[in-house]
Amino acid sequence: MPTRLPVVLRRCHTCASGSFRANGKFRVNAHHKLLDAWLLALCTGCGDTTKLTVLERAHVRSVQPELLDRMHANDPALAAELLQDPVVRRRNRVALDWTGAWRLDTGGQDHPDREVIDVSVTFGARIPVRPLRLIADGCGLSRTETERLLSEGKIVSTARLTGRLTGDFGFLLKR
């Protein structure tokens, strides 16, 4: 589950810092019947503001009123949605750093003595994480032990557990 907005990785023109922190504030500008909208982010080094383009010269009638209301209200949930949108990230040439911006909720520790554990992992947001890290943290194992169990075939999944995942998956852990 996400705990805060991720850090936006982009070069600052003022201090050459490489990261910005989005705070959920928007700026909307109207030019006759055309709208521009930006998500504002502050440089972690100097505090300078950058604008991440959300809408560019969009006709007023093409913008959903609910979206416009959420931008005017500086909705942090909308900021989170837009930061995860690949189109917005590509348009602004930014990447996200989720380090320290999520937590693992296991729902309790009722499984340590079982021989076989069937686990379903659901993501609260599209956060890229390493499945082996989630398995190690959630089951109270070391990363080395988790890798060993995977190589021995004691962790089985239809999803690829090496690399990073952003979507739901399940696995079976045999002790």
pLDDT in tens, 65-101: 999 999 999 999 999 999 989 999 999 999 999 888 7
Structure tokens at 137: 């943290």
DSSP string, 15-80: T---EEEEEEEEEEEEETTEEEEEEEEEETTT--EEEEEEEEEEEGGGS-HHHHHHHHTT-HHHHH
**Quick one: pLDDT at residue 7?**
94
Closest CA to 133 of 118, 153, 150: 150
Other beta carbons within 10 angstroms of residue 173's beta carbon come to 22
113-169 per-position pLDDT tens digit: 667 888 888 887 788 888 888 888 888 889 899 999 999 998 998 888 888 888 888
Closest CA to 38 of 4, 2, 69, 82: 82
- Look up the pTM and report it: 0.74
17-37 per-position pLDDT tens digit: 999 999 899 999 999 999 999
